Copies of this chain bind each other. A is one copy, B any other.
Amino acid sequence: MTSKWLDETEERAWRAYRRMFTLLEARLGRELAAETGLSMADYTVLSNLVEVEGRRYRVTALADYVQWSQSRLSHHLTRMEERGLVRREQVRGDARGAYVVLTKRGLQAIAAATSAHLSGVRRHMVDLLTREQLETLGDIGQIVVGHLIEESEPSTPETPGEPGDIMAGPGTPRR
């Protein structure tokens, strides 16, 4: 059954990863929707906003970070705005730009959702793994992410001195 592209170990790893991701995404998505009324997309936007100082993000920067098209984000923001979860704000010094800002309602929503969501993450993944497996998973992610970022940003070979600093998150603007 070992294909001609990947050997046995590689194929097992890849298929396991993919299957895990398929099932996990579906499960967490369903639970999130059921328990909080937020979609994964909502959660993505809100959780990124809440982590950054000022609870605001430039539209394009957020789109880049979450790997959405500007257009998708713009549409989604419009809908979230109608639900009162976020609001757009002008950027001082650049009249083209816009901030997405977390509203009070959005803050409540994400605060409530986070505990539910992360408890799911625990139950369905984190708590099932050993310390060592968690470490390794962190390593793997760091390596893969480091590679993908390098490749797409040939100019900025990642923050010098902190190679592969995947934890930087939105707080440390890339590029």
A66 within 8 A of B: yes
- 6 nearest A-B pairs in the assembled complex, by CB-CB distance: A16-B141, A5-B118, A26-B67, A13-B134, A20-B141, A12-B138
**14 A-B pairs, CB-CB below 8 angstroms?**
A5-B114, A6-B118, A10-B134, A13-B134, A13-B138, A15-B166, A16-B145, A20-B140, A23-B144, A24-B144, A26-B67, A27-B148, A125-B144, A129-B143
Q: Which residues of A in the span 130-154 have a Cβ within 8 Å of any Cβ on B? A: 131-145, 147-149, 152
* Contact (Cβ within 8 A) B137 A13: yes
> Contacts of A133 on B, CB cut-off 8 Å?
136, 139-140, 143
Q: Which residue of B lies closest to A14 (CB)?
A: B121
Contacts of A3 in B (CB 8 A): 114, 118
In the complex the two chains form, what is the Cα distance from A42 to B125 in whole Å?
Answer: 28
From B12, B124, B167, give the contact of A12 (CB < 8 A): B167
A22 within 8 A of B: yes
Q: A13-B138, A19-B166 are in contact. Are A143 and B128 (CB under 8 A)?
A: yes
